[in-house]
Structure 1
């Protein structure tokens, strides 16, 4: 009995093993070879690459594009091998670069140094002198000098006065009557100074003009004064005329009138006296 059970169990095991073999599919494909690194080996593709050749213009040497028929730089025709008629052939000009040579400076002589130093001192001194003179001899300063002398008859005024005619002699004595007048009219002098600074003539008889220079550089301003030639008349014969205490001569007769024409004078304050001479 025991032997029969063993045989039955062996038959069952063999049947099960046969069924498993039938169920397992059999593949006809061959396994692909696997490289050691785990990647499948691929055959390298053969590629034929040709390097590009740069073409240059045979006329000017400018680089050309592939397939170009003419040069963009000089216009050379690559097909006809000719230059266009309207454009001249480009010519290369070689510019010569001048060679710079360094000159060795010679040491300055002592005399030259002294002269240059002296010249520098003179230039600085002249600049300082010119700045001082421009301020000192300014127009407004000169107007103040003129009007200050005009107020005081004791100051010399001839240097600030010029006549409207060259025949008039300008001296301190001939100008003093004008000073005597403005001594009594100080307000008029103040107004005159203000108008002169504003380039306005104070009246019809006086104006400010440039006449000469101070120190050959700075303009000199003077008052140009109008002159007059007065005439003294009287009905007394055989008389003498005095002006400001100075005898100027006898009066001459003309149709019963006695008159004396005086020399040119500036406007101002005058005192005339007529004195009869006893016969």
Structure 2
């Protein structure tokens, strides 16, 4: 049995016309789609919708991806301003200026595992920085520019990451190992009031360390013989600096105290002298380049000499400290004089630097006087 599409009454299978309404069943058979045809039509009708849905989904994912990238870029920019490399370096060096020794110690690692770094350990550097205030300024600039101080004492080092992405920085410190010599037996060798060792004989040599960089006063204790030396152990050329704790015998047989500031004049037990390379004062100053001192590279200069060259560099009088050789002297306490020589050995200028007042002066040959240089940025 089949159904008439017009009146929906059942008709005989072989009927050509509907017995009820007379509808031509042949016409209905020709226009009625088969199930397969209807299925194909439904599939075709569905395809445009799926294509639209697919493009919509891709658009959503693209928007999300862009949003994630924007968030990452903004987060990175915020981090760099608030806790990035430059900010971390500024924070570390500010700890020195602000005398926050405990916080500074937490930002350090040592090249020698035997050195325990804490707030007390770093005090010699803080003492040195108070006498050489430009050292911290130079330290900050060098770390940001090169990742290392020009005296090779401190190096920036990555010790971890925040959020698995942003680096955490600390300073690796180069430890000091001064060589102490004394002519007094059974005396305690002291470094900033900390006992190091007891001398075993009257020609005793001891390699101290590891010590944190900075300013130290070495002296003898526990003996009638007295000797004291103040030394700045900061630059790489001071790592194994020789310090002579030599007690001078007086005429009546008693030992006397010898206080010398870093490389000042000292006398040994035989009466011989170790002289520094001081020059005459300004009144008889001679700039004829007849210095007896041999030329030194920047690395070979003393700590005070390097500080003077640093001041010249930051005043924009030279482009690179390594382009010159130097001779240095100390015409007055805390005043270092350096002469600059170019690659041809020609004299290129004479300067004096007062490390207490952070004053730089240049020698003017036409007036015969030193004239203050403006070091303001």
Structure-1-length-normalised TM-score = 0.49
Q: Name the structure, 1 or 2, with higher relative contact order (CA <8 Å, separation 6+).
A: 1
Select the structure of larger CA radius of gyration.
1
Query: Counting strand residues as a fraction of each chain, which structure ranks higher?
Result: 2
Structure-2-length-normalised TM-score = 0.37
